[in-house]
Amino acid sequence: MIIASTSSLHGGDYLDYLLEELKIHFEHCKTILFIPYARPSGITHEEYTEIVAQAFAKIGKAVKGIHQFEDNSTAIKNAEAIFVGGGNTFLLVTQLYRNDIMNVLAEAIKSGTPYLGTSAGSNICGLTMQTTNDMPIIYPPSFKTLGIIPFNLNPHYLDADAQSNHMVETRETRIKEFHSFNTIPVLGLREGSWLEVKGNKIILKGDLTARLFRQNQTPTELESGSDFSFLK
């Protein structure tokens, strides 16, 4: 399983920075099931699936959107591989519950189906979606998510800009607010970083460090190559 902070980097094409990793990750798969529910900028499921299909064509993979199947649960159970893209996490989680596939998706991943999640699709890999950056545009039945990793993520994590005069809350401030009421650890995953989950290991990949937040503790920076399975 690959859990990535973002689907693209500034100036790059969709998924380009991950394609070499994805060649290996999906090497035994011909077709990838795409779940487009997060709908970035409100695009349709069809439009989103086409963007993803063009990206995966570069490594010889076909893509089918889950909306093209009559039975979503069966589509997930039969999938060779699964990709959940970014967009709005509230919308994504709502649709997974409305279609009654949150648990089905979790079981498929736990059973070994290769999975890629970017942005909102990475947010749902944690215990809850409560550390997303997204606006609550719709009310999900629950904040509980897949629980594939034993902590929460804050994808697109941004450090405070010491040169800025804009008095906006920082990501660190918001995560501290989360820890006023919750004990779940939170990993700030910066752009261009991802987690590779294999067996019991959860390894940070990419060139950057990640920032780990735990309740009532000073945040720590962990280097690329660190294993986060100690958070279990």
Whole-angstrom distance, CA of residue 219 vs CA of residue 231: 14
Q: How far is CA 161 from the centre of its chain?
A: 25
Q: In angstroms, how far apart are the furthest CA atoms of the chain?
A: 52
Out of 119, 122, 179, 193, the active site residue is: 119
Q: Which residue has the tokens 């950056």?
A: 133
Out of 5, 122, 134, 193, the active site residue is: 134
159 a catalytic residue: no
142 a catalytic residue: no
State how beta strands 186-189 and 31-35 pair: unpaired
Question: Would you say 203 and 210 are in contact if contact means Cβ atoms under 8 Å apart?
Answer: no
Whole-angstrom distance, CA of residue 151 vs CA of residue 182: 11
Out of 25, 67, 122, 156, the active site residue is: 156
10 a catalytic residue: no
Q: Which residues are catalytic?
A: 119, 134, 156
